[in-house]
Amino acid sequence: MHAAVTSLLTVAFALLGIITASAQTSVDAARLPSWRVPDLAALPQDDYGRDVRYGGDLILHTSALIGPDAPATAMRFAGNGLECQNCHLDGGTARFGLPLVGIWNLYPAFSARLDAIQTMADRINDCMARSMNGRPLPLDGPEIKAIEAYIRFLGSDQTTNVPLVGRGAPALPLPNRAADPVHGAEVYQVMCAACHQADGAGVRYSLFDSQTKKQRYLFPPLWGPDSFNDAAGMSRNITAAWFVQANMPRGITFAYPQLEVNDSYDVAAFINEQPRPHKSGLERDYPDPWLKPADAAYPPLLGPFPSRQHELGPWQPIDDWLRHNMPENRHGPHAGGDLEAVIGLRTAPSN
């Protein structure tokens, strides 16, 4: 199947001229520091090793262990059929694939969305409520403990005196036009539909394969009832475009993207215009509206810009307005009008 999909995509790319001989890489991989991930298999068979392994299993097999396919109803915390690794690629180990490597020491951390300090456990449960469209895990339960142990383990092989480059996804220049979901639909059919299907529903395993693999999907749904909700980080077009550019279609590397930058924004806009679960209470996000990113399109909104511009862009005029109009006491490391602070420094998972 993989060979057939690869062949289909290659032909499609050639037909649309999306891949060209002059395509530029977004990241010079040869100049990056080494990316080190510790060996899970080398862990001892003790309580610590079991915790880390269970945490890794929860990232890989979310739907089967704490999602809708968990045998015990009480364990069904995730509300959709996704696995955590659908966003945090390769079990959270892929460089620029929203990895979990190296984020342990970032927490507790300030959350602009909450205007408060979050612990790692809080952040995990934020993902559960948004990307997993579910409910919080018990803060004193073994699942939180295991996921925390796994995340801490993933950073244990990093060289502490060398800056870690590879968290989040590489920043892209903001387009000087609005993202175009109509063109994004065309890009989607060529670049994405072979895996995620024309209706965005993904490719679901058979019941036998799902039980064997402990996963619900071969390729996850990008919209519909089994996908992330409209409060997830991936529902914001800048976040989604950066992730897509560096990681999609699966099999590419961040150093050799297959999409043009504007195509990434366009296809993200198309995907995020499709129906998905709604999370109530969005108006309570970003209690301080000056901390709200330009592409968070739900009210309340600051400035003279329509919600459609917050959704699709161009975003630079919004950011410029925020820079020039924010109150003097809001200038600082978390200022909403500062692309470096709010958009550019996505070093933690954006869920």
Distance CA 40, CA 56 (A): 9
Domains and CATH numbers, the chain: 32-154 (1.10.760.10)
Q: What is the Cα gyration radius of the chain?
A: 20
Core vs surface per residue 100-128: b (16+ CB within 10 A) or e: bbbbbeebeeebbbbbeebebbbbbbbbb
Which pLDDT score is estimated for 8? 35
Tell me the two tokens of residue 166.
């590879």
Q: Which helix H or strand E contains 203, and what residues bound it? A: strand 203-204
Q: For residue 43, count CB atoms less than 10 angstroms from its CB and return exposed for 0-12, middle for 13-18, buried for 19 or more.
A: middle
Which pLDDT score is estimated for 26? 53
Which pLDDT score is estimated for 13? 31
Backbone phi, psi, residue 118, to 5°: -110, 140
What separation, in Å, do the N-terminal and C-terminal C-alpha atoms of the chain show?
A: 30
Model confidence, pTM: 0.86
Q: Mean pLDDT per segment of 10 residues, for the chain of length 351 residues?
A: 37 32 52 88 95 98 98 98 98 96 92 93 98 98 98 84 82 96 98 98 97 98 98 97 97 92 98 98 94 93 96 96 84 42 36 54
**Strand-pair partners of 219:** 203
Distance CA 63, CA 222 (A): 16
